[in-house]
Structure 1
C-alpha cells in the first residue's frame, strides 16, 4: 500500500512539475508548483521524515508559493498585457533534462543498495523503531548546533533589513 502511494505521489510530482515547466500561463504554473510541492511533502511523510515534511509545507507551500501566487495575481495585467512566460529554446531544456535523467538513472543503477549497512539494519525491523524525528532535531539544534543556528538567524535578519531598505521609497526630504 505504501509503495503504491509513493508511486502515485511521485507520478503526480513529475507530471505537475512537467506541466509547470511547459505551460505559458504563469498562474497555472504557480498552481502546478503547489501540486508539486504538496506531492513532495506527501512523499516525505511516506518516508517517515515528518520534520522535513512539515518544513516543506510551512516554508515552501506556506511562504514562498503564496508570495509567488500573490505576485502573479497582483501584477497579472501590466499595461493591459497578460503576464505570460516565453518558452524560448525548448530544445536545450529538453536535452539537458534528458541528460540529467540518464545520469541519475545510471547512478541509481550502479549503486548497490542491498549492501548499505543502514538499509540492512532497517530491513529486519520494518516499522517498529519508527518514531518522530522532531524531538531529536530540536535537541541537536539547541545543544550541538546552537551557534550555527544563531548565525543563520542573524544572516536572515540582515537580509530582511536589507530587502526592506531596498524596497523603501527613497525620496529626498
Structure 2
C-alpha cells in the first residue's frame, strides 16, 4: 500500500513539475518527486540508495536548482517563466511513450525473472545494513578514488563560483 502511495505521489508531482509554468513551483514539485523515489527505495530495502538519493539529489542538486531559480527569477525586471513551444506534439509524444511502456510492462513475463523466485527469502540476510559494508569499503579499499572525486567536485565548485561572479571592468 505504501508503495502505491509513494508511486502515485511521484507520478503526480512529476506531472505537475512538467506541466507548471512557474519555475519555483516546479522546483518544489521536484522535491516531492525525489522524496517519493527515496521512499520507494526504502520500501525496497535499498537503504544506501535511499540515503544517497536524499543526500545527493535532495540535499545537493535540488538546493542548487532552487537557489539558481531564486537568484535568477528576475531578468531585467521580468519574471522568468517557462514557455511551451508546441503543447499538442508534446502531449502526443508523451501519450505514445506511456502506451509503449504499458505494453512493454504487460508483455514482459515478469514472473519468470530469476531474482523474483528468491524474493520470499530474507532480503538483508544476516547483515543489518548495506550502508555499513559500503562505508567500510569506501573508507578502506576505495579511499583514493573517493578523495580524487571530492577534489574534482571542489574544483568544479570553485570554477562555477568564479564563472558566476559579476566581473566589473576597472
Give CA deviations for 1:86-126 in whole Å, capped at 9, x if unaligned.
Answer: 12212232233223223322332232322222221122447
What 5-or-longer segments of structure 2 have no aligned partner? Answer: none
* Whole-angstrom CA distance in 2 between matches of 1:172 and 1:78: 21
How many residue pairs match? The answer is: 170
**Cα distance, 1:134 vs. partner?**
0.6
What 5-or-longer segments of structure 1 have no aligned partner? Answer: none
SS at match of 1:123: coil
Cα distance change, pair 91–169 in 1 and its aligned pair in 2 (3 A): same
Partner of 1:92 in structure 2? 89
Partner of 1:38 in structure 2? 35
**TM-score, normalized by length of structure 1?**
0.80
Partner of 1:166 in structure 2? 163
1:111 to 100, 108, 112: 108
Matched, 1:47 2:57: no
Partner of 2:75 in structure 1? 78
**TM-score, normalized by length of structure 2?**
0.81
**Cα distance, 1:42 vs. partner?**
1.0
SS at match of 2:118: helix
